[in-house]
Amino acid sequence: MNTVLGNILKRFQTEGVSSALRLMGARIGSLLRSAIEDRRRGVSTARELKDRALGITDLSNHWYVATDYQTFRRAMKHVDIRPGEDVFVDIGAGMGRMVLLAAELPFRKVLGVEFSRQLTDIGRENLRAALPGLACKDVELILADATQWPVPHDATVLFLFNPFDGEVLAKVCANIRQSLAEAPRKLTIVYVRSEKFFEKEIAWQEWLLRTHEIPCVEGRVAIYESKLLPGAVRNGRPGRAAKPEPAEIL
Ligand SMILES: C[S@@+](CC[C@H](N)C(=O)[O-])C[C@H]1O[C@@H](n2cnc3c(N)ncnc32)[C@H](O)[C@@H]1O
């Protein structure tokens, strides 16, 4: 809550009162949505934790904040899901909100990877409560450090809400890239709040192309598609790189 107030104050100082009020309205909307949508599913994805630091000592790994329900929906409008085929992975899944939302869509499989036991336990509780209402029943929350977790060859849509930066992000990007090299395929990455770290990390790697940018309450969502790695063949034919589309303006 302090961070939210701090951000509003900062906005007031840098951009003036109307911009600060807009941000405040967006935050209130997000809190209301969180309460209503959680209640509708019988889950709790924004609860206060006793150990707020989650035992994180390496600050390259970021703390838990759930993505706004609306942000996920807006972002997923730009992702072409192949029903019964695509596999969604939330890297840094927290209490599982994105995993539950993805499992309401026609994915073949939905996974979440989270390195905090406390959060994974809550996420699994949420999953048990929501399971009857999910379209996809093959859903799993995996307790693992993303740096040590090999990205499965069938993963086709990756979701990240600013889970880490620095060396940790570099290692996870290398894992994603290795998975693509071993199993060339169309891969979409939905990255919330990409402005600081992810862009820097992939800029020199040049293996992803940004296809969309959407403003959201967290800042912005960027959607990337994998370019085909040299020599790789997709579906028996050489693939083509994704074409960028103009940024969407709210
Ligand atoms: C900002 S939260 C996003 C939560 C969820 N993806 C969402 O959008 O609602 C980032 C999450 O990443 C987790 N995380 C941070 N470093 C990690 C790592 N190395 N491996 C796995 N999870 C990690 C944190 O514990 C936290 O739950």
Q: In sequence order, what DSSP letters do the residues of 151-195 get, joined into one string?
A: PPTT--EEEEES-B-HHHHHHHHHHHHHHHHHS----EEEEES-T
The reply to whether ligand 1 has any atom less than 6 angstroms from the CB of 113 is: yes
Shared domain check, 124 and 9: no
| Among protein residues, the one whose CA lies closest to atom 7 of ligand 1 | 66
| 98 plus 182 within the same structural domain | yes
The preferred substitution site among 33, 62, 120 for testing ligand 1, maximizing ligand atoms within 8 Å of CB, is: 62
> What is the residue range of 6's domain?
2-41
Is the C-beta atom of 71 inside 6 A of ligand 1? no
Which residues are bridge partners to 62 per DSSP?
none
Domain contains 139: yes
Asked if 116 and 25 sit in the same domain, the reply is: no
Residue 95 lies in a domain: yes
Task: Give the residue with greater pLDDT, 56 vs 74.
Answer: 74
Indicate whether this model's pTM tops 0.85: yes
Taking residues 49-56, report their average pLDDT. 63
CB proximity list for 141: less than 8 A, separation 6 or greater? 93, 96, 99, 111, 112, 114, 120, 123, 124, 127
- The pick from 34, 49, 56, 63 for probing ligand 1's pocket by mutation, whose C-beta has the most ligand atoms within 8 angstroms, reads 63
CB distance 224 to ligand 1 below 6 Å: no
Average pLDDT of 183-204?
81
Tally the domains of the chain.
Answer: 2
184 Cβ below 6 A of ligand 1: no
CATH code of the domain in which 157 resides:
3.40.50.150
| Eight-class DSSP state of 239 | -
- 208 and 132 in a single domain? The answer is yes
Q: What is the pLDDT of residues 202-234, one digit of tens each?
A: 766 678 888 999 999 888 899 999 876 655 544
What's the CA dihedral at 77, 126, 165, 149 to 10 degrees?
A: -100
pLDDT over 70, % of the chain: 83
In angstroms, the CA 31 to CA 22 distance is: 14
Does residue 120 form part of some domain?
A: yes
Two structure tokens written together for 225: 């598609």
Residue 34 CB less than 6 A away from ligand 1: no
Mean pLDDT of 81-90: 98
Q: What is the pLDDT of residue 196?
A: 64
Cβ of 98 closer than 6 Å to ligand 1, yes or no, is yes
In a shared domain, residues 94 and 170: yes
> Quick check: is 50 in a domain?
no
Q: What is the mean pLDDT of residues 170-194?
A: 92
Instruction: Indicate if 34 and 157 belong to the same structural domain.
Output: no
Residue 135, ligand 1, Cβ within 6 A? no
Q: Do residue 99 and residue 221 come from a single domain?
A: yes
Closest C-alpha residue for ligand 1 atom 5: 93
Q: Which residues contact 56 (CB under 8 A, 6 or more apart)?
A: 62, 63, 116
Distance, CA 63 to ligand 1 centroid (Å)? 7
Mean pLDDT check: name the lowest of 12-16, 68-72, 110-114.
Answer: 12-16
Q: Which long-range contacts (CB under 8 A, 24 or more apart) does 26-31 make?
A: 26/217, 27/217, 29/70, 29/217, 30/68, 30/69, 30/70, 30/217
